[in-house]
């Protein structure tokens, strides 16, 4: 029996490490997507060929044809008119690599999944979770193309709403895979936690929620180019509460489309996020948590401080590409750290 349990545990660890590797690939994908957007390359490929688009143009004639297709759309006419074929090749290859990495993620998931399933390593409780991941991955590809389509119609810019959904789904996929991997590596003990731990656990989930909400706010800020306005801190061009707030009608539109309101909201959410995480950290450190839980909350507190510094620097320096990428990557890292800390709160505190 012990040998059977040891074998099952080893198989679970292998599946968990595979899922963690997938999390890394999704994280890299978020960074590639951010670089693609910030380098204005996302609209360079005007067709979606999920099964046949593995290769870029290989001949001069194929490049000319791809360039001619691009010239039919608003981004070329309004922004890049007169660009050379070589310039087009550069932005095309950036978007091509973005899409190629998405396809590689699909392969890196599908091939091991089939192998593990054939070997009987995936039990009936894990199978539905993995199938959900696969469906979400395919949905993310479709949402990505739905987003690109919005920039191929009238305006040479993608919809901020669709961009935010695309980002949110990527973060949700990574978070789901991370959670399942952690469950495989450290199954719940089944012990009943004391009331203090239950409250701390709820606080941890509240932290996860506020981090995710702030990421959604950041997506809307990015989609509306709101980071290029009010490049001062802590005030917004000398005002704590800018008079330009809520300039649009109806009122609710301001929370999604008004540059001033979007940036004000993002600043406010970031402040709330930092405050809640530091409060969570101080509370957790006073509790007799296991060493792993203490490490998780320490990492969370350190990550939120780094992320806040990155956000302020990105704003003050008017969104330079390297800092903007670090800030986007930091947001996903912060969400992962919050999820890890919430996961560790499942266990009863111990004095070790």
Q: What local confidence, expressed as pLDDT, does residue 350 receive?
A: 43
Instruction: Provide the pLDDT for residue 54.
Output: 87
- Mark which of 170, 187, 204 sits at the end of a domain: 187
Q: For residue 208, what are the CA distances in angstroms to 78, 97, 141, 243, 302?
A: 41, 31, 25, 32, 15
Query: What pLDDT, on the 0 to 100 scale, is given for residue 49?
Result: 86
Same domain assignment for residues 257 and 281: yes
Same domain? 201 vs 345: yes
Q: Are residues 100 and 88 in the same domain?
A: yes
Same domain, yes or no: 233 and 101: no
How far is the C-alpha of 81 from the C-alpha of 72, rounded, in Å? 11
User: Both 227 and 248 in a single domain?
Assistant: yes
Name the band, by pLDDT with cuts 50, 70 and 90, for residue 154.
confident
Q: What digits encode the pLDDT tens for the residues 215-249?
A: 999 999 999 999 999 999 999 999 999 999 999 99
* pLDDT at residue 352, rounded to an integer: 37
* pLDDT the model gives residue 346: 79
Residue 168, domain extent: 1-187
Number of Cβ within a 10 Å radius of residue 199:
14
pLDDT tens per residue, range 61-105: 999 999 999 999 999 999 999 899 999 999 999 999 999 999 999
Helix orientation angle between 85-118 and 126-149, rounded to the nearest 10 degrees: 170
Q: 202 and 286: one domain?
A: yes
Is residue 351 predicted with pLDDT exceeding 50?
no
Average pLDDT over residues 157-184: 96
* Distances, alpha carbon 293 to alpha carbons 138, 285, 325, in Å: 34, 9, 29
Select from 187, 204, 233 the last residue of a domain.
187
Same domain, 317 and 201: yes
Residue 350 CA, chain-centre distance (Å), reads: 33
Q: Are residues 314 and 219 in the same domain?
A: yes
Indicate the residue among 136, 166, 187 that finishes a domain: 187
Residues 243 and 161 in one domain: no
User: How many separate domains does the chain show?
Assistant: 2
pTM score above 0.75: yes
Look at residue 199 and tell me whether its pLDDT is greater than 90. no
Rg (CA), the chain: 23
Which tokens go with 220?
Answer: 């809307």
Residue 53: pLDDT band with limits 50, 70, 90: confident
Token digits of residue 198: 């239950």
Take residue 208 and report the two structure tokens written for it. Answer: 């996860």
Whether residue 146 is found in the same domain as residue 215: no
- The C-alpha atoms of residue 350 and residue 347 are separated, in whole angstroms, by 9
Phi, psi of 236 (to 5 degrees): -105, 95
Mean pLDDT for the stretch of residues 7-13: 82
65 plus 151 within the same structural domain: yes
Q: What is the pLDDT of residue 156?
A: 86
Asked if 105 and 176 sit in the same domain, the reply is: yes
């Amino acid at each position: 029996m012990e040998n059977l349990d040891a074998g099952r545990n080893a198989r679970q660890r292998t599946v968990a490490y595979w899922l963690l590797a997938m999390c890394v690939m999704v994280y890299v994908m978020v960074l590639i997507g951010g670089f693609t957007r910030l380098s204005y390359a996302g609209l360079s490929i005007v067709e979606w060929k999920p099964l046949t688009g593995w290769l870029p143009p290989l001949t001069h004639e194929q490049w000319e044809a791809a360039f001619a297709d691009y010239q039919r759309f608003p981004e070329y006419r309004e922004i890049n008119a007169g660009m050379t074929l070589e310039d087009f090749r550069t932005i095309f290859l950036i978007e091509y690599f973005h899409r190629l990495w998405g396809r590689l993620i699909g392969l890196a998931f599908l091939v091991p999944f089939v192998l593990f399933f054939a070997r009987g390593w995936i039990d009936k409780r894990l199978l539905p979770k993995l199938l959900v991941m696969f469906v979400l991955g395919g949905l993310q590809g479709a949402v990505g193309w739905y987003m690109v389509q919005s920039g191929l119609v009238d305006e040479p810019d993608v919809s901020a709403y669709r961009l935010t959904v695309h980002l949110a789904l990527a973060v949700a996929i990574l978070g789901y895979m991370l959670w399942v991997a952690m469950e495989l590596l450290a199954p719940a003990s089944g012990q009943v936690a004391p009331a203090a731990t239950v409250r701390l656990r709820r606080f941890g989930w509240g932290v996860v929620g506020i981090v995710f909400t702030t990421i959604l706010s950041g997506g809307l800020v990015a989609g509306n180019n709101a980071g290029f306005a009010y490049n001062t801190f802590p005030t917004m061009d000398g005002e704590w509460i800018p008079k330009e707030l809520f300039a649009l009608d109806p009122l609710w539109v301001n929370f999604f489309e008004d540059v001033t309101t979007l940036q004000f909201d993002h600043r406010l959410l970031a402040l709330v996020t930092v405050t809640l995480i530091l409060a969570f950290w101080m509370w957790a450190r006073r509790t007799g948590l296991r060493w792993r839980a203490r490490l998780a909350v320490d990492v969370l507190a350190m990550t939120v401080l780094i992320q806040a510094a990155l956000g302020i620097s990105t704003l003050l320096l008017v969104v330079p590409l390297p800092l903007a990428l670090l800030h986007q990557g930091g947001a996903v890292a912060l969400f992962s750290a919050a999820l890890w800390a919430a996961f560790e709160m499942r266990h009863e505190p111990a004095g070790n």
